[in-house]
Each structure stands twice: as structure tokens, then as C-alpha cells.
């Protein structure tokens, strides 16, 4: 089970400045979260290493659609965005380059270690 939902991430960690985004990259991404019959639309605008998150059905450079549960897993770092795409658990239409950036907007798996910490653990053993 995902420990965090995609909505929490979209409200908390996704908006704002991301120093690891290339400053030359800009574009718009729409996330369509499907729950049964219902679809929720989130709209991300990326420019100058900043991400703005709104709710909109407007057309975007990249439109991603998936079951909410799949996006929850991705947001929690439990499922790799590329793997989800390859197995057709999410659909993507438009500029796929932006998908590579979207991956970086979510914090990644919980419990991931800095290589130095992993090395220290290894040496102690």
C-alpha cells in the first residue's frame, strides 16, 4: 500500500522550486487520475526550475492517464514511472521527454539511502 497519495504529493512536494530540474526545460503536463467512472485532472506547469500545480482540463504538452492507485504507487516511489509506462499501466500522449522530468518531481522511494550511508553500513558488517 502506498504510504502517501498522489494528491498529497501534488499539493505538498511537487509545487515550488526543484533545483535538480534543468533551467532550460519548460512545458505542461496534465495528470488524469481515474477512479472508477470519475476522473480528476491535475495540471503542472514547469518553467525556470519551478513547478506550478493547478486543476485544469486544458490540453497539455504531455497528458498522462492512469488509475489513481497506480499514480499513488508512483508518487510514493514504489513503482517506477518508466516501468508503469512499459507495462501499459499508464497512458501517455504528447512529449514523452517531459515524462522523464515528471519522474523527478516525486520524492522517490522511502528508505532510499545515500551511497555513503550504504557504504558505511556495508563496512560495519
Partner 1 sequence: MRAERTQVLAGNVFAIGDAQGDMEPDPRTPTGLFAYDTRFLSHWVLTVDGHRLNALSRVDVAYFETRFLLVPGTASHYVDADVSVLRHRSIDDSFHERITVFNHSSRPAEYTIRIEVDTDFADTAEIARPARRAARISARTGEGELRLRYERDRFVRETVVTTTVPAQIDEHGLTFRVTVEPAGTWAADLHVDMVIRGAGGRDLRAGITAHQQRVRQAMQQDLADWLDRAPTLVAENSALGGAYRRCLVDLAALRYTPLAYAGRVPVAGLPWSMGLYGRDAMVACLQSLPYAPELTPATLRMLALGQGGRLDDDHDEEPGKIVSVFRYGESAAFGEEPTALYFGAADTTPLFVILLDEYERWSGDEDLVRELRHPARMALDWIGEYGDLLGDGYLRYQRRNLRNGTVNQCWKDSPNAITYADGREPAFPRATCELQGYAYDALRRGARLARQCWGDPAYADGLQARAAALRERFNRDFWLADREYYALAVEPDGTPVDALASNMGHLLWSGIVPPERAARVAEHLLGPQLWSGWGVRTLGAGQQRYNPVGTHLGSVWLWDTALIAAGLRRYGLDEAAGRLATGLFDVALRLDGRMPEVIAGYDRSVTKYPVQLPSGGYPQAWAAGSLLMTLTTVLGLDPCGENLLVDSALPPGLGRIELLDVPGRWGHSDAYGRDRARHPARIR
35 forms part of the interface with partner 1 (CB under 8 A): no
88 forms part of the interface with partner 1 (CB under 8 A): yes
Q: Which residue has the cell 497512458?
A: 91
Q: Which is nearer to partner 1, 36 or 111 (CB)?
A: 111
**What letter does residue 7 receive in the DSSP assignment?**
H
Q: Using CB under 8 A, which of 20, 37, 55, 58 touches partner 1?
A: 20
1 forms part of the interface with partner 1 (CB under 8 A): no
Nearest alpha-carbon partner for 77 in 106, 101, 45, 52: 106
Nearest-10 Cα torsion for 111, 116, 119, 120: -90
123 forms part of the interface with partner 1 (CB under 8 A): yes
79 forms part of the interface with partner 1 (CB under 8 A): yes
Q: From residue 54, how far is each of 43, 46, 95 by CA, in Å?
A: 5, 12, 20
**What letter does residue 21 receive in the DSSP assignment?**
S
38 forms part of the interface with partner 1 (CB under 8 A): no
Nearest-10 Cα torsion for 17, 85, 38, 46: 20
Using the contact rule CB under 8 A, the part of the chain among 4-12, 32-40, 53-61, 73-81 near partner 1 is: 73-81
The residues binding partner 1 (CB under 8 A) are 20-24, 77, 79-80, 82-83, 85-89, 91-93, 96-97, 99-101, 103-104, 106-109, 111-116, 118-119, 122-123
Amino acid at each position: 500500500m502506498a504510504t502517501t497519495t498522489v494528491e498529497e504529493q501534488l499539493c505538498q512536494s511537487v509545487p515550488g522550486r526543484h533545483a535538480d530540474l534543468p533551467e532550460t526545460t519548460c512545458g505542461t503536463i496534465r495528470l488524469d487520475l481515474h477512479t472508477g467512472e470519475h476522473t480528476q485532472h491535475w495540471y503542472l506547469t514547469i518553467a525556470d526550475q519551478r513547478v506550478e500545480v493547478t486543476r485544469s482540463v486544458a490540453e497539455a504538452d504531455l497528458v498522462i492517464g492512469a488509475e489513481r492507485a497506480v499514480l499513488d504507487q508512483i508518487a510514493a516511489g514504489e513503482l517506477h514511472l518508466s516501468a508503469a509506462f512499459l507495462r501499459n499501466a499508464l497512458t501517455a500522449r504528447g512529449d514523452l521527454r517531459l515524462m522523464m522530468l515528471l519522474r523527478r518531481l516525486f520524492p522517490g522511494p522511502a528508505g532510499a539511502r545515500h551511497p555513503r550511508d550504504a557504504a558505511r553500513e556495508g563496512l560495519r558488517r
